Amino acid sequence: MLKIILARLQQGHQTMKYPDGPPPKLSGRFRGHPVLDAGKCRKDCRACVEACPTGAMAIRDNQPVIDMGKCLFCGACAQACKFDAVRG
């Protein structure tokens, strides 16, 4: 355990200086957070809700909603949506 602590102390800070420095470079695979346009949704469609692995997508008051606290940003909901109502 002592060796691990000494190694961590020798490493120093490994974080970036954001926001004081330049913003971090994002991977080309970064898709961002999903954006929902509920106006494009069909009432009988639940494809995005069924595709979501964490249950972040749900139907409330006959409208789809995204719980960003549960979202993994995987894009499964956008891939499942046939009406282009979910992007990201």
Q: pLDDT tens, 23-33?
A: 778 788 888 88
Q: Does 74 fall in a domain?
A: yes
* Domain carrying residue 58: 41-88
> What CATH code is carried by the domain that includes residue 83?
3.30.70.20
Count of structural domains within the chain:
1
**Is 20's pLDDT higher than 90?**
no
What is the pLDDT of the chain when averaged over all its residues? 88
Cα distance between residue 84 and residue 79, in whole Å: 9
Portion of the chain with pLDDT greater than 90, in percent: 48
pLDDT at 85: 93
Q: Any idea which residue has 């979501």 for tokens?
A: 52
Tell me the pLDDT tens digit for each residue of 37-49.
Answer: 988 998 889 999 9
pLDDT at 40: 92
Q: Does 11 fall in a domain?
A: no
Q: Does 33 fall in a domain?
A: no
Burial 62-72 (b: 16+ CB within 10 A, else e): eebebeeeebe
Q: Tell which residue, 37, 29, 34, has the closest CA to residue 79.
A: 34
Token pair of 34 as six digits: 């999903």
